[in-house]
């Protein structure tokens, strides 16, 4: 299945959200594999722009990398890109379940409108391949676990999840109308070095190091299918290579770890890896939060040979090591 080095050198992949957590890891991986990479980011101030610049330090001067600072919500802005692009990995978008409840329109703009602009750009330029970053949030509080891609996802419980579900449906319409080859990748709580500072693992470790109280919503039994970033990136790369070899494709796949971790266990793992005893403040559950996420990854295994390797405990150790090494500054999410 793996594409040979000489063939990779002929392919150029556009990565939106290239300065973000997942995007920066993906760009490094693609460049190391020999692909040409065009990166797009708007440096949304949702979290520190300095951190995003640091994310790009390892590859922004690579001769095979070209960067454009663009706002994908603006119609026609992608026409500034001069390079020939063979495939797009669309990672950019507004993230966060709770903020989406406060500002739903911004999620419609940054996720749905931006994705439509990507699809229109593809159609205009004759780009036929798209790997789209969706989310496990589309499953809502589905009672049937593990989550499979053929389950009904009409009952989302946050504007963020709605925006991702809407993009999946929009992608299908462009596949049908314009024969675009598209795979929707549903990510499951990705974590690891460079994780956004507003996400639980990053936020909890910071609070523990600063000897501050950890806010825990609910009794700690809610669970997430945490997936280490290297495994997610490997799944994205395999998705790209599958798309390069395929025609008339529209698929949706789960990229998770298929091993849900309860919130209490997550805190224990951070405590063990950091050797800090947490001070916990238990609070009521918040609106929009799902009870658990749990990926069935059999389809991804069969379709793209996806196979996550990093255990949750090992991933937490690697994250704590990274955090201590870079001595993360105080961040206001």
| Token pair recorded at residue 177 | 């109308």
Exactly one of 47, 107, 160, 323 is catalytic; name it: 160
What are the CA-CA distances from residue 146 to residues 66, 136, 139, 213, 225 (Å)? 40, 11, 10, 33, 10
Residue 259, Cα to own-chain centre: how many angstroms? 18
Task: Tell me the C-alpha distance between 61 and 306, whole Å.
Answer: 30
Helix 263-274 / helix 312-326 crossing angle, nearest 10 deg: 50
Task: Give the residue from 186, 2, 10 showing the smallest Cα distance to 87.
Answer: 10
Q: How far apart are CA 81 and CA 18, in angstroms?
A: 15
Alpha carbon of 273 to those of 119, 208, 216, 276: distances in Å? 43, 12, 19, 8
Nearest to 18 by CA among 37, 43, 47, 41: 41
Q: CB under 8 Å to 137, separation ≥6 — which residues?
A: 97, 156, 158, 160, 161, 164, 290
Q: Tell me if 306 sits within 8 A of 297, measured CB to CB.
A: yes
Strands 190-191 and 261-262: unpaired
Is residue 139 annotated as a catalytic residue, yes or no? no
Active site residues: 160
């Amino acid at each position: 299945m793996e594409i040979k080095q000489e063939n990779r050198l002929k392919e150029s992949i556009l990565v939106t959200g290239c300065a973000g957590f997942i995007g920066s890891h993906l760009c490094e991986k693609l460049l190391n594999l020999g692909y040409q990479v065009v990166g797009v980011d708007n440096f949304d101030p949702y979290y520190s722009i300095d951190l995003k610049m640091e994310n790009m330090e390892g590859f922004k001067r690579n001769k095979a990398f070209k960067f454009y600072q663009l706002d994908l919500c603006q119609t026609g802005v992608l026409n500034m890109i001069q390079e020939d692009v063979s495939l797009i990995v669309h990672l950019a978008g507004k993230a966060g379940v709770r903020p989406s409840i406060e500002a739903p329109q911004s999620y419609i703009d940054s996720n749905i409108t931006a994705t439509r602009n990507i699809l229109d750009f593809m159609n205009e330029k004759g780009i036929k391949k798209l790997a789209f970053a969706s989310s496990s949030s589309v499953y809502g509080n589905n009672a049937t676990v593990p989550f499979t891609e053929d389950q009904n996802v009409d009952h989302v419980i946050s504007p963020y999840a709605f925006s991702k579900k809407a993009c999946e449906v929009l992608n299908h319409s462009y596949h049908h109308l314009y024969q675009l080859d598209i795979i929707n990748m549903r990510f499951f709580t990705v974590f690891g070095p460079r994780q956004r500072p507003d996400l639980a693992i990053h936020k909890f470790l910071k609070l523990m190091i600063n000897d501050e109280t950890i806010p825990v919503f609910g009794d700690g039994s809610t669970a997430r299918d945490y997936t280490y970033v290297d495994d997610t990136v490997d799944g994205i790369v395999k998705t790209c290579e599958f798309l390069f070899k395929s025609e008339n494709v529209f698929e949706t796949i789960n990229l998770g770890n298929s091993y849900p971790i309860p919130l209490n266990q997550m805190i224990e793992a951070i405590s063990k890896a950091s050797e800090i005893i947490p001070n916990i403040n238990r609070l009521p559950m918040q609106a929009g939060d799902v009870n658990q996420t749990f990926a069935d990854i059999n389809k991804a295994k069969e379709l793209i040979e996806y196979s996550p390797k990093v255990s949750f405990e090992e991933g937490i150790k690697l994250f704590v090591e990274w955090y201590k090494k870079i001595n993360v500054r105080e961040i206001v999410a």
